[in-house]
């Protein structure tokens, strides 16, 4: 099974981040603009949290708060569950399932290398299964 560094090689290491003091509305704009479900929350170079569409729905919409007046730090999830680039796809899926999360920042030596989503992981599992089926079909045919 593949690992996180192999996923990042294919998808790239681009991350979208926002400052803790920025309004939630700006985080939602960034997510919409980049077609993503979460943004990293930073204090300078330090990862302090992650803000997702789920955080927005539960902590702004359902609580009747204003997204333009509420800082991202108020709704972010913290501490952030992170993984190393050597982590396997299977282990990442287990972490996400156990923690009920959909995004995992990838850190090495305190440096952010990228982020993987549940969609990235599912795509890898499907590719692995396709390859295995192809190998088995070739084996049976020969």
What are the structural domains of the chain?
A: 4-141 (3.10.580.10)
The pLDDT, as a whole number, for residue 5 is 95
Instruction: Report the C-alpha gap between 75 and 21 in whole angstroms.
Output: 11
The pLDDT, as a whole number, for residue 137 is 86
Closest Cα partner for 76 from 14, 115, 21, 33? 21
pTM of the model: 0.88
pLDDT, one tens digit for every residue, the chain (142 residues)? 789 999 999 999 899 999 999 999 999 999 999 999 999 999 998 999 999 999 999 999 989 999 999 999 999 999 999 999 999 999 999 999 999 999 999 999 989 999 999 999 999 988 888 888 887 888 888 7
The pLDDT, as a whole number, for residue 36 is 96
User: Please, what is the angle between helix 89-99 and helix 4-11, to 10°?
Assistant: 100
Closest Cα partner for 27 from 64, 63, 60? 60
The pLDDT, as a whole number, for residue 131 is 84
Instruction: Report the C-alpha gap between 134 and 140 in whole angstroms.
Output: 10
Cβ count within 10 A of residue 56:
23
The pLDDT, as a whole number, for residue 67 is 93
Q: How many CA atoms lie within 13 A of 97 on its CB side?
A: 8
């Amino acid at each position: 099974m593949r690992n996180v560094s192999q996923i990042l090689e294919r998808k790239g290491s681009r991350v979208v981040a926002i400052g803790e003091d920025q309004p939630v509305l700006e985080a939602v704009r960034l997510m919409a603009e980049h077609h993503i479900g979460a943004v990293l929350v930073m204090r300078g170079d330090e990862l302090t949290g992650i803000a997702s569409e789920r955080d927005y729905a539960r902590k702004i919409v359902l609580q009747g708060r204003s997204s333009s007046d509420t800082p991202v730090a108020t709704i972010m999830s913290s501490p952030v569950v992170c993984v190393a680039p050597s982590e396997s796809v299977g282990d990442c899926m287990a972490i996400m399932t156990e923690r009920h999360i959909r995004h995992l920042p990838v850190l090495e030596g305190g440096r952010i290398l990228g982020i993987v989503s549940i969609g990235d992981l599912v795509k890898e599992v499907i590719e692995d299964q396709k390859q295995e089926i192809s190998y088995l079909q070739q084996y049976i045919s020969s």
